[in-house]
Structure 1
Amino acid sequence: MRRDRGQRGRFNEIVVKLIDLIEDFWPVEDGKDHRWTFFLRQRRQWVRLHVTKYDKAYYFSGSDFDSFSYPSKNAMDAGIEERLPSWIRELAHWKQAVAHDPIEAQARLMKKLPIRYRTGVIQRKNVRLLLPQWMPIASALTKNEKKEILEILRKAIPAPVRSMTLNRFFDYCRAAYQANPKTFRKMGYQSGLSGKVYYKKYADGRHGGLLDIKSNSPRAFERWYESKSWSGCHPWEIYRGGNSTHIDMCVARPMGRQKGWEVRLQASSSARLVETCRIALALKKADLPVIVDEADSYLNRILDQDWVGVVPQEEGIAYGWQSFPQEWGVRDCVRLDLFYEENPKAKPWLKKHLQSVIYWLPEELTAFLK
């Protein structure tokens, strides 16, 4: 126990020394958060170090290490403790450089920093050239499907429907489930079932009382909806999935109106885009009006004319799109190593040309002393 306390004491001393250095720099203030970002050299590698201060606690995150906080009751990973002294040395060098000339220091660092540690965007057409099998959205649709879905996405939003019942919602569900039988093949899919049976079998299950209302009563549906008793449940999640990989078919009041209903098809993930397109096609065929959320994004992805995010080495790509500014419309991400692995003989050529083809986003770099 004494040994553990001694180790804990030494770790605290090192972290406090690191924090004292960090506090010498002006942070970015974001509400109650104070935020710093550094790029530190470690032998032949670089570490992106994010530090956020909130309510007297410091939260450390970045590339190539597990996140930790100070103060904390949790035991510290030995690998982190071993690296802290080198972080302190590099941060001290950075402090000295920006004290001399912050503009020159930033310019030198960004010139030295390999592009695999940068964040940027690249046109999907360029990604398609280098990674032909990556996200085969358009090729997964038939020629006729592509033509029809583009027409749907370009059309004006349909007028709200006057009334909604549970049975009417199940009409939508029946068309939606029958649009993608392959999705449910391993779950015992059968054609020709009712929308209610499909919904009970394949939806999220947390229906929030939706299945308990009168099936053919507009008033019952309205009362259930207005009660908000379903808040926190997932009555609209018709295709199960993760935070961004499920498909919703939401029924809601049109914005700013107390009457009428609109049905919205929602799925942001490109992994579900083809299925969502086929649902929209099936609803059109069944003469069931629907609004496809993010229609412009769908259109651009199908036509390969949107921006794909490029995330730094060792950062995840599954949810990487969420960290990009909204104006870029990023919904998918790649890392540079994917290009290199697909084209190993062209790696030197790729490194040279990707540096110019990718539009690099500004880095939030801490470079000014108090």
Structure 2
Amino acid sequence: MRNTMTAPVIDRLLFQFDTGFVNARPYSKDVMDAMEPLFSIMADLAPLPKNDEVKMIWLKIPRGTLEDFGDFQQILDDGEVKSREEFEELWHEEYPDEYKWYQLFLVESFNKDGSLRYRGVSVGRNTIVSASFEGDTCSARWEDKSIICLCSLLAEAAAVSMDLLRNGTYGRVIDEGLPYWFRKGVVKRTDVMAVEPEMKDSLFEGLSQSVYERFCELVTTGQNDVSLLRPMKTMTANVFFCACSLGYKACNYKGTDKPLADQYLMHADGRDEGLTGRGSGLHREYGSIDFDSPEEWDKWYHKREHWGGHPWEVCRGGNSTHVDLFVHDSRDISFALAMGRMTEEKAKKARETGGYYFSVAGKAWSRAAEAVNFYVAIHDVGFPVVLEDADEILARFRGEDWIGIVPHDVIPNYCESMFPEEYGCILDFMHVYKEEDAWFKNIQWLPVERAKLKSKM
């Protein structure tokens, strides 16, 4: 089968390589030499703005001919197709467009003396080479032949993209041809809700109208403000457990007739750093403290060497799908003072007027209603408390915020940094499918990041 610069050939070669991070290691001299033309062709490409060791360029590679797609006789013998017509249909099914796009990354770093330390080549999420230049080369491995072939084909494709960049047409080609599943965009939540009313229903599940209206009042009147709180001079474990219990009752959790600490153990993460003496995980051997003693709370909170648990995860869940009830001490200003962020005068005032207060965190789509229930319940009995990301959560409930659209190879979570500040703090991210999402036409696509030539900067 021919090794042509076509999408089926590239895909067959890429299939042999792992996705994700690969530790740097020695490669054979043949592989090291095979990378050289690729790095030479892209020598004038400017690195990424946020990482001066990484370069990226888009490759537009043709799907080629039916012969590039595969060996008809072999596929026929394997039973995948029954005729040449089916073989051609399979080709068009897997490669419906005349071209397929690939994102090529090159990584290159040097030692302080200017000697080459590392080179990496990846296509999308597939790491092709992760080569350390510190030490000797090694003997050939089974994948070397594929690496060498792939580097040659990628160099050929990269040369085309670099020519487009030099003659000023690269940007237009990208804007007009790059498929949406590689792009970022935003869509107003109201546009999605108009087509999918169940989105709004799921957001409000577990949140009563009265609690929602109270939440709106607290946020819109500026009461969700740390500077307006009147912190508590003392704190005990039972005060913390009481605040948890208020939230559990507001969310209609089971077991709210149990003792306070038992409710916490029933619903929280459990890795409580020895707070209850019955938790799990790191430092559970710390032993229980007196739940009514401010002194023992202070010792556990301030003077402990048993970090590493999740004592504030009061409603257990995943990394981003749980609810926290944090306890803060506004008198703990040593770091701000050491960093010069606070004057001695302000530090003195903070120690005199400060104290303990709560903050609720739970901005995940599936937990925001619970977080709001916690916040309103704790606030309305008089405890000092704020809700983190309250403005953004309120905008989500009202449908006034933006939803982030991310490329299909990006997990739609923790993507805040991918979007400009003009869209505010985006809470939710998703993939889109043109054939399935009726609101697709309402997406505002963001400009694709421009590649630049070093020689023209």
TM-score range normalised by the length of the shorter chain: 0.7 to 0.9
In structure 2, the partner of 1:254 is 330
Aligned-pair CA distance for 1:53: 4.1
Please point out which of 265, 282, 296 is paired with 2:360: 265
- Return 144-153 or 328-337, whichever deviates more: 144-153
Q: Who is 1:128 aligned against?
A: 193
What amino acid is the match of 1:106? G
| Structure 1 gap ranges (5+) | 1-6, 183-188, 344-349
- Among 445, 452, 456, the alignment partner of 1:360 is 445
Against the structure 1 CA distance between its residues 139 and 199, is the aligned structure 2 distance closer, same or farther, given a 3 Å change threshold? closer
- Matching residue of 1:310: 405
Q: Which amino acid aligns with 1:40?
A: L
| CA–CA separation in structure 2 for the residues paired with 1:321 and 1:314 | 16
Aligned partner of 2:262 among 197, 206, 215: 197
Question: Are 1:277 and 2:372 counterparts?
Answer: yes
In 2, the alpha carbon distance for the partners of 1:53 and 1:131 equals 46
Give 1:283 deviation, angstroms.
1.9
Deviation at residue 143 of structure 1 after TM alignment:
2.4
After TM superposition, give the deviation of residue 14 of structure 1 in Å.
3.7
Give the counterpart of 1:147 among 202, 213, 236: 213
Distance verdict in 2 for CA 1:54–1:283, change over 3 Å: farther
Q: Aligned residues: percent identity?
A: 24
Cα distance between partner residues in 1 of 2:200 and 2:29: 50
User: What is the distance in 2 between the residues matched to 1:174 and 1:120?
Assistant: 41
Q: Which moved more, 1:224-233 or 1:304-313?
A: 224-233
- 2-structure distance, mates of 1:242, 1:75: 40
2:126 equivalent in structure 1: 66
Contact 2:406 2:429 in 1 (8 A): yes
Three-state SS of the structure 1 residue aligned to 2:155 is: helix
Structure 1 or 2: more helix by fraction? 1
SS at match of 2:376: helix
Query: Quick one: distance in 1 between partners of 2:267 and 2:143?
Result: 43
Counting only pairs closer than 5 Å after superposition, residues 236-247 of structure 1 correspond to structure 2 as 236-247=312-323
What do you get for the CA RMSD once the two structures are aligned?
3.1
C-alpha distance in 2, partners of 1:191/1:77?
A: 63
Aligned pair partner of 1:97 in 137, 148, 164: 164
TM-aligned CA deviation for residue 199 of structure 1: 1.7
Instruction: Report the counterpart of residue 334 of structure 1 in structure 2.
Output: 430
Matched residue type, 2:453: F
Moved more, 310-319 or 117-126: 310-319
CA distance in 1, matches of 2:299, 2:436: 56
| Alpha-carbon distance in 2 for matches of 1:340, 1:62 | 27
Structure 1 residue 67 displacement after superposition: 4.0
Relative to 1, partners in 2 of residues 1:228 and 1:58: Cα closer, same or farther, differing over 3 Å?
farther
Post-superposition offset of 1:330: 1.0
Q: What TM-score do you get using the length of structure 2 for normalisation?
A: 0.66
Give the structure 2 partner of residue 174 of structure 1.
Answer: 245
Query: Which entry has the higher C-alpha Rg, 1 or 2?
Result: 2
TM-superposition CA deviations, 1:28-50 (whole Å, max 9, x none): 3546x422222212333212334
Aligned counterparts of 1:326 and 1:68: Cα–Cα separation in 2: 34
Counterpart contact for 1:138–1:302, Cα < 8 Å: yes
> How far 1:312 sits from its partner (Å)?
1.8
Greater displacement, 50-59 / 281-290: 50-59
**Aligned position for 1:4:** none
CA distance in 1, matches of 2:321, 2:122: 26
What's 1:57 paired with?
A: 118
Shift of 1:251: 0.5
Matching residue of 2:135: none
Q: Deviations over 1:109-161 (max 9, x none)?
A: 22222333221212111122233334645442332232122123334233222
Deviates more, 1:149-158 or 1:193-202: 149-158
Distance 1:77 1:275 in 2: 54
Give per-residue Cα distances to partners, 1:321-357, cap 9 Å, x unaligned: 45334553111112221x53244xxxxxx66xx3xx4
Counterpart contact for 1:38–1:365, Cα < 8 Å: no
Uncovered stretches (5+) of structure 2, i.e. residues with no partner: 1-26, 64-98, 111-116, 133-137, 277-287, 334-349
Q: Distance in 2 between matches of 1:231 and 1:325?
A: 35
Taking CA–CA contacts closer than 8 Å with sequence separation of 6 or more, which of the two structures ends up with the larger relative contact order? 1
